[in-house]
Amino acid sequence: MKRFNSVLSLSVFIWIIMGIFIAGHSLAGGVPPCISEGNIEKSISSEAMLTDFSCEFKMFEGADVLHFNVGLKNISNTPQRFRVQIFLDNGKAVGGLIPRTTKGGLVKPGQTASFEYPVNGMTGLPNHIILIVSTMAP
């Protein structure tokens, strides 16, 4: 009986440690990447640095669909507006501008901005992605 209690206590302890480890990684690291780095073709403007490119499944227009999280840092010395284009291997594409509107101004030098792009009708992960980030004229 004493051996059973020791094994049970050890098992509970291991599960608690694993839970803390997984929770810490999910909170610290954010959303995991969509696919392996080798299956993503990137063309990033010299004025931008990609700080986040990950995905998750969330509700959008009544369905659980793929959402891309894109974060960009302005590494130039002038304010910028970025155009993001994401092309998937099944012919679907999404994208837009960061910042979405210029009412609040452009992305200042050293500042980071992000946006989430839902892919309507995409309920699985793609095998290949092309990511293009370019600058827009202010």
State the average pLDDT over residues 4-11. 52
Q: Which residue has the tokens 């010395």?
A: 77
Q: Which of the two residues, 23 and 126, has the higher pLDDT score?
A: 126
Q: Does the predicted model carry a pTM greater than 0.85?
A: no
- Helix (H) or strand (E) holding 112, with range, is strand 112-118
**pLDDT tens digits along 82-119:** 999 999 999 999 999 999 988 889 999 999 999 999 99
Distance of alpha carbon 18 from alpha carbon 23, whole angstroms: 8
**pLDDT tens digits along 71-83:** 999 999 999 999 9
Radius of gyration of the chain (CA): 20
